[in-house]
Structures are given as C-alpha cells and as structure tokens.
Amino acid sequence: MLLNTIIISITDRENQVHELETPTDMGLSIMELCKSYELPVEGTCGGMALCASCHVYVLSEHDLHEPSDDELAMLDSAFFVKPNSRLGCQIKITEALDGLKLKLAPVST
Ligand code: FES
C-alpha cells in the first residue's frame, strides 16, 4: 500500500525553499518533519510548546486549527512573533496541509 504523502514547503533562515514530502498518517508535527530533513529546528522541549525553537510563520492560506492556550502562552513570550506565528510542534501533519508554506522564524539567542 502506498503511503499518503503531501508536500510542505519550508523557507529556511537563508531564504532557501525546501519542498518536503511527508506522510500524513504517521502523526508527525511540523517540528518533527523539519528535524527529519535536518532543517535547523531544535525542538528543544520535545514538542511540549515550552521552548519556541520550532517557531514558524505561516505563509499560505491554510486553515490551521486554533492554537491552544499553551501555544498562545509560549508565543506570548517568544521573540519575533507576528500575527502568522505558530509553533511547529503544535501543527500535526494531515492531508489538509498539502501545499502548506512556512518560514522558519529567526533564532533568538
Ligand atoms: Fe518546543 Fe515546539 S518544540 S515549543
């Protein structure tokens, strides 16, 4: 059986665009996808919405689920936050995200 896959496009901090093919039936998050392609996303807290190292900007018009209170609280204390900011670890990959375009937020050190 073929895996269902979609394409997600991620612009890194050097403005290189990466078209990442990803399965939709493995419960992966955007943070895990970035790590699996070795994009510079730390995922320090392991996806608990506690570190903002997976901060991304959503560039396409996809209808993402509303951020949880935990995600909003973390974004509240993160740097370089914009109206289209999300935490990559809180976005689960589903078929509805085919063609999603994201950009990695700058690292705050
Ligand atoms: Fe830590 Fe997403 S991996 S907030």
Q: How many angstroms separate the CA atoms of 36 and 23, rounded?
A: 12
Per-residue confidence (pLDDT) for residue 45, from 0 to 100: 97
Cβ(53)–Cβ(41) under 8 Å? yes
Give the mean pLDDT of 64-92. Answer: 97
Per-residue confidence (pLDDT) for residue 93, from 0 to 100: 96
Band (1; pLDDT cuts 50, 70, 90): low
Q: How many angstroms separate the CA atoms of 109 and 93, rounded?
A: 28
Cα(53) to centroid(ligand 1), Å: 6
- Which ligand 1 atom is at minimum distance from the Cα of 74? 4
Pocket test for ligand 1, best of 32, 75, 79, 89 (most atoms within 8 A of CB): 89
Cα four-point dihedral sign 40, 104, 23, 43: positive
**Residue 16 is encoded by which pair of tokens?**
């290189």
Q: How far apart are the first and last CA of the chain?
A: 45
Q: Verify whether ligand 1 is closer than 6 Å to residue 51 (CB atom).
A: yes
Domains of the chain with CATH codes = 5-104 (3.10.20.30)
| pLDDT beyond 80 at 44 | yes
For 69-82, how does the pLDDT look when each residue is reduced to its tens digit (9 = 90+)? 999 999 999 999 99
- Which ligand 1 atom is at minimum distance from the Cα of 47? 3
